[in-house]
Chains A and B, each alone.
Chain A
Amino acid sequence: MKATSRNELVIIEEELLNFLTSLCNELRGKGIPLSISEIESAIRVLRNYCSLRGYIRENGTYTLPVIEFKEVLKSVLAKRAHFEKIFEETFNNFILRKSALKYKIMKDIESHLRELKIHYGDKIPISKMKYLIRNPNRKQAFCTLRKLGIIRKDSRRGIYEVLSRDKVRSIALKCIEYNFKDLNKIANYVMLKNIQKCSLRALKDEKEFYLDSIEDIIQSKLNLELLPTAKLLELSYYASEKNKRYISKYLTQTLAHRISETPMEVRKLDENKLVSLLKEHGFLSSRILSSVLNYNPRAVDSLIKDHKDRDVVINSLPLIKLESQRYIVSKLFRFKLSKDEILRIISNINPRALSVLEKAKYVSLNPNEQLLIKAAAKLAKAFEYYRRAFLEDNVGYYDMANSVLEEYDELMRQYSLTSKQVSKSKLEKTLLNKIDLLNTLLASASAKETSALPLIVKIYGASFYTLRLLKEIYETTIDTRTKRNLLHLASIIVQRLKTRYRSYALLSKRKKTKRKTTSIIIRDSIYNVLRFEEQPVVYHTRKKDIKVVLLVDVSGSMREFAEHAILIASTFAKSISDLIVFRENVIHVPRSTLRNPVSLVEFLFNLKFEGWTNIALALSEVSRRRGRKIVVMISDLKQTVKGYDPLSEARKAIRGSVEFIVLTPPIHDEMFANSLKTLGAKVYVVRGIDDFVKKLAYIFRGI
């Protein structure tokens, strides 16, 4: 398709199909419902029109005025008044893009070449070029051409090479597709894609060039989503070396954001560079740090000397998994810690991680506390031996466990002698608490003493927290009988929780509405007519009421919400047609699981909260379910699996449901949330977990 004079288009019939499909795609994206049949109609009407007007040239080409082309397409593709404007804009955009843009791009490229006084196919020594581009205008032109790949560096021969005219032309053609009007922006975009694909090696070899480019890319406000994490880090590091603070900060911020969304990425990164950058620019929050440490605990090494950094590390501990916790704690204790720090570390970690503290130094503590910490460490160690004994079926470990347990007993005996007189310090209390827990763990792991389980419930009550605790034990224990007991115990707690959810629902009043259909019950209606009833016509009411499809995001950040949501779903199982939990994949939870508390708990206990999120996939599941439905989605709306289009899936899902409700935590993807709203979804931002539970229960109440 090309423009001849100012107002005419030459259309080749084969291209027309491509043109129309992409135009219609864009129109569809903007809310105009169009199907293949409309594209087909458009082509046929256009063909007839051109033949009537005498616009058809030989070999299947049409030459017609742009305005008429537009009017004909509009009559088939935009048939509602409010679609016309959308059509108009999109169409103009397309035409502009296709014809004017190419012309403009070529012109701009050539003017840059002129600025540099070089021609297609030239070869210029690197040194000469260096001299040339001392002038800022020339430098700008040079950079743009180089980013576009029109000027290439050949280091071996020591020259810069300009591509031939034909090759430049094909580059220009590709550029059109990027849909930017300004050559500079196009160049930056091309460069961004180049950085995405190039090797780390190339990045190192051409530091200067890449750094300059990324600066331009940032200034032109392009989205850095395309850049791999490792390259973000390298570039940020170079920028920092070169004292380009603004650039370095921007890149680090992007990096921090990336890490909090997909912590696994950290594995690929150099932890020292990463930590020093995060620190330098003030992005070292405990949340980000926990993501870093979870997947790369060695990053802690550079953070334990300074007490401020240590603070952040300690705060991030609860979010870190056991193995990494162990490493970090042992590192921390190599240092002289204050009493307060020790207290916070101990209360923040999994009791099992205490096992690394057997030989640690803790000069700041009083003898009682020292005794207790040692005892706790011994107990934790004994537990690990037990576990290994069991896992590896090795009696040797039992002996070791028992001997460590004896040491523990001895320490506790000493402690009980000395601690009687004085009141207990905070640290002692915390430690005793952990010791309690460890004892329970030990009891359940060794499977001889499962009666300890109800004790937990006694201590902590039938709360959500207890459920968490039981899950932890469930994960650590190996004995199947204990596991069974745990499930039963947990299911009892679940029953109690359900009563609570129900009471939330009862607090709110919302009337059920009867849904009429259009079909009439003829017999009843006739009777009513004969009896002169005021409203004689009786309609069939819908037997099947609307049910809820519940979508629950079980990525790491959504853990608490998700657990509650699943429990609430089971409370109102009657109103649920489907419960779908999703991460990078989707799991369809059978209704039988929802109804049976034990299988529910088992499901919950085996559910892992980590990994990537694929909202698009989950939404596509919704569209597959037939019938009238209300969709409730619980998610922070962050699509972290790339290559999907959550918005278009959302559109389908929203169109196919009676009501589409989203509950989302305060930190969520606001752009996506807003788009959902404009598509007709109801998006509620919940204030916290309590608010969430109430809102969700309320929704079920109304159904």
Chain B
Amino acid sequence: MQHKREVEDVIEKKVYETYYTIVEPFKPVRSVKGIVEQLREKFKLIVSEKLVALVVSAFLTGRPVLFEGPPGTGKTEVGYGILTLWAGKKAFILPCSENYDEYRVIGDFHPLMAMKMGFTEESFVPRPLLAALILDAGVLVDEIRRSSLRRVFKAKGEGFQVIFTSNPEDIAQGELSDAFLRRVVRIKFTYPPEEVEKEIAKLRLGEDFKMITEDSISKVLAVVNELRNKALHKPGPADTVAWTQMATGLAKLRGKKKADLKDFYDAAFSVLLKRSEDEDLVYSIVEKYFKR
């Protein structure tokens, strides 16, 4: 195994010390079918073979991947899942924000140690990106538009791959530069078709899914779809899952075997109401389907 090799380089050594146990290495999964299966089993994600094949072909071409789409469509989790399976190590996630710059990502100097020893390798603190490079693990740069990072990183090993996620509709986010876009392969995430979304809920809820009738799940999807067309906050599959989970939870508390209209009604607002402008709309739509 790699970590048993004699590590000479001080920084490499540090990386192995700090990060190796965290990545929990296992045997990489490199086939498209294998990845799709494992995503379903280990990560409870439903992803099409086409998408995985495209991501993998980008990896093989040496291009980073950009996932773009509305919130809650699974970009972050899918990215993390694929990277993890591909490298056989848990991927690093860099959640982005304005002040997330190259130092935070690659590494910087420990101030106290630097005072004592100067700016040497000893006082250098490696950060996730450098760690991922050295450990040959994947990196997920989440919400790239929120960061001041605009670089595309070159891969060294097979396992080191980069996936960026971004939500183009988020007005708080910056534009991506032409130079950045030129290098990536962009994959668009959209809301899944109804059957798939139902499937997702089923997978996520596990046994609890039996507590939901065919009728109520179609109503849930109808509400969600209507909101996607009309509301400012558009619910993603993440919200569908959360809503159904909460409804079944409530039903259990209330000692019922099946979640009924009231459970769904009560659970709806905490999940769907994210912006005050949507209030009337959400009420009227939910009432249309779930008020007795």
> CB within 8 A of B57: which of A48, A74, A80, A81?
A48
CA distance A38 to B50 in the complex (A): 21
A-B interface contact total, Cβ < 8 Å: 55
Taken together as a complex, chains A and B put the C-alpha atoms of A35 and B182 apart, in Å, by 9
Contact between A71 and B50, CB atoms less than 8 A apart: yes
Residues of B within 8 A of A81 (CB): 68, 168
**Contact with A45, one of B58, B66, B168, B178 (Cβ below 8 angstroms):** B58
Which of the four size classes fits the interface of chain A? Answer: 20 to 34
Whether the Cβ atoms of A49 and B184 lie closer than 8 Å is: no
Interface status of B49 (Cβ within 8 A of chain A): yes
Is A608 on the interface with B (CB-CB < 8 A)? no
Interface string of B131-167 (1 = CB under 8 A from A): 0000000000000000000000000000000000000
Q: Are A45 and B182 in contact (CB under 8 A)?
A: no
CA distance A44 to B56 in the complex (A): 12
A75 interface neighbour in B56, B60, B168, B186, Cβ under 8 Å: B186
Shortest CB–CB separation between residue A595 and chain B, in angstroms? 40
The closest CB in chain B to the CB of A65 belongs to B50
Q: Establish whether residues B32 and A53, one from each chain, have CB atoms under 8 Å apart when the complex forms.
A: yes
A48-B60 contact, Cβ under 8 Å, with A35-B182, A53-B49, A75-B185:
yes
Asked whether A135 is an interface residue with its Cβ less than 8 Å from the other chain, the reply is no
Name A's interface SS.
helix
Shortest CB-to-CB span from B98 to chain A, Å, is 18
Contact B53 A49 (CB under 8 A): yes
CB-based contact A41/B56 at 8 Å: no
**Bound Cα distance A52, B182 (Å):** 24
When each residue 177-195 of chain B gets 1 if its CB lies under 8 Å from chain A and 0 otherwise, what string results?
Answer: 0100110111110000000
Residue of B nearest to A37 (CB): B182
B56–A48 contact, CB under 8 A? yes
- Name the residue of chain A whose CB is nearest to the CB of B65: A75
Across the interface, do A45 and B61 meet the contact criterion of CB distance under 8 Å? yes
Q: Which of B32, B57, B181 contacts A79 (CB 8 A)?
A: B181
Which residues of the other chain, B, contact A76 by a CB distance below 8 angstroms? Answer: 185-186
Residue A68 at the B interface, CB < 8 A?
A: yes
B31 to A: closest C-beta gap in Å? 8
Residue from B53, B56, B187 having most chain A Cβ neighbours under 10 A: B53
The yes or no answer to A72 lying at the interface (CB within 8 A) is: yes
Query: How far apart sit A170 and B34, CA to CA, in the bound complex (Å)?
Result: 47
Most chain A Cβ neighbours within 10 Å, of B50, B54, B58, B68:
B54
Shortest Cβ gap from A31 to chain B (Å): 13
**Is A454 among interface residues, defined by CB-CB distance under 8 A?**
no
User: In the assembled complex, how far is the CB of residue A109 from the closest CB belonging to chain B, in whole angstroms?
Assistant: 38
B198 within 8 A of A: no
* Inter-chain contact A79/B63, CB cutoff 8 Å: no
Main SS of the interface on chain B? helix
By beta carbon, the residue of chain A nearest B180 is A79
Give the distance in Å from the alpha carbon of A316 to the alpha carbon of B268 in the complex. Answer: 82
Q: Does A8 contact B (CB under 8 A)?
A: no
Q: Are A72 and B188 in contact (CB under 8 A)?
A: no
Counting CB contacts under 8 A, is A84 at the interface? yes
List B30-88 residues whose CB lies under 8 Å from chain A.
Answer: 32, 49-50, 53-54, 56-58, 60-61, 63, 66, 68
| CB pair A79 B53 closer than 8 Å | no
A45 touches B63 (CB 8 A): yes
Determine the distance from Cα of A72 to Cα of B65 in the docked complex, in whole angstroms. Answer: 12
Query: B56 near A45 (CB under 8 angstroms)?
Result: no
Q: Which residue of A lies closest to B60 (CB)?
A: A48
CB neighbours (8 Å) of A68 from chain B are 50
Complex contacts, A35 vs chain B, CB 8 Å: 182
Check B49 against A38 for contact (C-beta < 8 Å).
Answer: no
Given contacts A41-B63, A45-B58, A45-B63, contact A53 B53 (CB under 8 A): yes
Chain A window 41-79, contacts with chain B (Cβ cutoff 8 Å), 1 for yes, 0 for no: 100111111001100000000000000100110111011
Indicate whether A79 sits within 8 Å of B66 (C-beta atoms), given known contacts A41-B61, A71-B50: yes
Alpha-carbon separation in the docked complex, A79 to B164 (Å): 13
Q: Judging by beta carbons under 8 Å apart, are A45 and B57 in contact? A: yes
Residues of B within 8 A of A72 (CB): 54, 57
Contacts known (A44-B61, A45-B58); A52 close to B32, Cβ less than 8 A: yes
Q: A45-B63, A53-B32, A53-B49 are in contact. Are A84 and B57 (CB under 8 A)?
A: no
Nearest CB of A to B177, in Å = 11
Tell whether A33 is near chain B: CB-to-CB under 8 Å: yes
> Within the complex, what minimum Cβ distance (angstroms) separates A517 from chain B?
19
B66: chain A residues at CB < 8 Å are 79
Which residues of B lie under 8 Å from residue A48 when comparing CB positions?
Answer: 56-58, 60-61
Complex Cα gap A53–B188 (Å):
19
Task: Check A80 against B181 for contact (C-beta < 8 Å).
Answer: yes
Q: How far is the CB of B47 from chain A (nearest CB, A)?
A: 14
Query: What 1/0 mask marks residues of chain A from 162 to 183 whose CB sits below 8 Å from any chain B CB?
Result: 0000000000000000000000
Smallest Cβ-Cβ distance to A40: which chain B residue: B61
Specify which chain A residues have a CB less than 8 angstroms from the CB of B63 in the assembled complex. Answer: 41, 45
- Is B185 a contact partner of A52 (Cβ separation < 8 A)? no
Most buried by A among B32, B49, B60: B60
CA distance A45 to B57 in the complex (A): 5
Residues of A within 8 A of B182 (CB): 35, 37-38
**Within 8 Å CB of A49, what residues of B?**
53-54, 57
B56 and A52: CB pair below 8 A?
yes
How far apart are the CA atoms of A33 and B178 in the complex, in Å? 9
Smallest beta-carbon distance B107→chain A, Å: 26
- Give the residues in chain A near B181, CB-CB below 8 Å: 79-80
Q: Give CA–CA (A52, B185) in the complex, Å.
A: 17
Q: Which residues from A are CB-within-8-Å of B61?
A: 41, 44-45, 48
Residues in B with CB closer than 8 Å to A71 are: 50, 54
Closest CB in chain A relative to B146 CB, distance in Å: 18
Which residues of chain A have C-beta atoms less than 8 A from B54's C-beta? 45, 49, 71-72, 75
A315 and B168 alpha carbons, distance in the complex (Å): 63
Residues of A close to B58: CB separation below 8 A? 45, 48, 75
Q: Which of B32, B66, B185, B187 has the most CB of A within 10 A?
A: B185
Neighbouring B residues of A44 by C-beta, 8 Å: 61
Closest to A77 in B: B186
Chain A residues with CB under 8 Å of B49's CB are 53
**Chain A positions within 8 Å of B186 at CB level:** 75-76, 78-79
| Residue ID in chain B nearest A55 by CB atoms | B53
Q: Chain B's nearest CB lies how many Å from the CB of A256?
A: 46
CA distance A627 to B178 in the complex (A): 20
List residues of chain A with CB within 8 A of the CB of B50: 53, 68, 71
A52/B53 in contact, CB under 8 A: yes
A75 to B32, CA, bound (A): 18
Contacts of B57 in A (CB 8 A): 45-49, 52, 72
Q: A53 to B57: give the CA distance in the assembly, Å.
A: 10
Chain B residues closer than 8 Å to A84, beta-carbon distance: 188
Q: How far is the CA of A46 from the CA of B56 in the complex (A)?
A: 11
Closest to B50 in A: A68
For B178, give the chain A residue with the smallest CB separation.
Answer: A33
Nearest-neighbor residue (CB-CB) of A72 within chain B: B54
Q: Is the CB of A79 within 8 A of B184?
A: yes
Interface centre among A68, A76, A78 (most CB of B within 10 A): A76
C-alpha spacing A74/B53, complex, angstroms = 15
Report the nearest B residue to A81, measured CB to CB.
B168
Most buried by A among B58, B168, B178: B58
User: Taking the nearest CB of chain B, how far is it from the CB of A463, in angstroms?
Assistant: 52
A74 partner residues in chain B, CB cutoff 8 A: 188
- Ordered by A's residue number, 18 sampled pairs between the chains whose C-beta atoms are within 8 Å are A44-B61, A45-B63, A47-B57, A48-B56, A48-B58, A49-B57, A52-B57, A53-B50, A68-B50, A71-B50, A72-B57, A75-B186, A75-B187, A75-B188, A76-B186, A79-B184, A79-B186, A81-B68
Interface residues of B (CB under 8 A from A): 32, 49-50, 53-54, 56-58, 60-61, 63, 66, 68, 168, 178, 181-182, 184-188
Interface positions of A (Cβ within 8 A of B): 33, 35, 37-38, 41, 44-49, 52-53, 68, 71-72, 74-76, 78-81, 84
Contacts A47-B57, A78-B186 given; 4 further ones with Cβ under 8 A?
A35-B182, A45-B61, A53-B32, A53-B53
- Would you list the 7 A-B pairs with minimal beta carbon distance, nearest first? A48-B57, A49-B57, A79-B186, A79-B181, A48-B60, A52-B53, A44-B61
